[in-house]
Structure 1
Amino acid sequence: MQKIIRSRDFTAERPWGALDIARMNGITTRLHWTDTPYQWHVNDGEEVFAVLDGTVDMHFREAGLEKIAVLQAGDVFFAGTGCEHVAHPRGPARILVVEKEGSV
């Protein structure tokens, strides 16, 4: 079986709505659409966050200090175990997220 997903055509009914792409050995790959910030969180494990369309300000805490990385289409953010972070899109964005199934 194969899937072709045109990420630029995907729009969810609500911010951070997702299209499930794959579940592999407890790891999910999902395409998210959003135009509003998420919430500060720490994932249950590691996370790969790839911006496919749009611009996202990724806020994260390192040694207790808040930092911001500007992510453009094609950029990837890796949140290691224990990394507190929150994504703030600048307008509509489409994001591919790979993480442990059931993670926040």
Structure 2
Amino acid sequence: MDIIRSKQFTADRAWGAKDIANMNGITTRLHWTDQAYKWHINDGQEVFAVLDGVVEMHYKQQGIEQSVLLESGDIFYASIGTEHVACPIGEARILVVESEGSV
């Protein structure tokens, strides 16, 4: 058992993470960041929940770049093959659920 106060979590580098659980190869991790990630496509599905802060999520649909502003409580679901990049506006804390070892 563990209680995690996500708004108090920080890391020593952008996208630093606290591993919360690994359930049959599906990981749940809490990330802290103040910098953009990189354009990528996950090996599987990804659930990206903003717990604190604001994140501009850029993604491509049929090769066309789009973006959406995600605020605290918002969830972005990336299906297999969704190219995307998360760009926080200031500090953000994000819960990510994905296949173990995914990018």
TM range (shorter): over 0.9
Aligned counterpart, 2:24: 25
Question: Normalising to structure 2: TM-score of the pair?
Answer: 0.99
CA distance in 1, matches of 2:3, 2:26: 19
Unmatched runs of 5 consecutive residues or more in structure 2: none
The one-letter code matched in structure 2 to 1:3 is: D
CA RMSD of aligned residues (A): 0.3
CA distance in 2, matches of 1:44, 1:18: 19
Question: Normalising to structure 1: TM-score of the pair?
Answer: 0.98
Unmatched runs of 5 consecutive residues or more in structure 1: none
Matched, 1:99 2:98: yes
Matched, 1:37 2:58: no
Aligned counterpart, 2:46: 47
The one-letter code matched in structure 1 to 2:37 is: Y
* Identity across the alignment (%): 66
- Deviations along 1:33-81, one digit per CA (max 9) or x if unpaired, are 0000000000010000000000000000001100001000000000000
The one-letter code matched in structure 1 to 2:47 is: V
Which segments of structure 1 move beyond 6 Å, counting only runs of 4 or more?
none
Q: How many residue pairs end up in the alignment? A: 103
Aligned counterpart, 2:13: 14
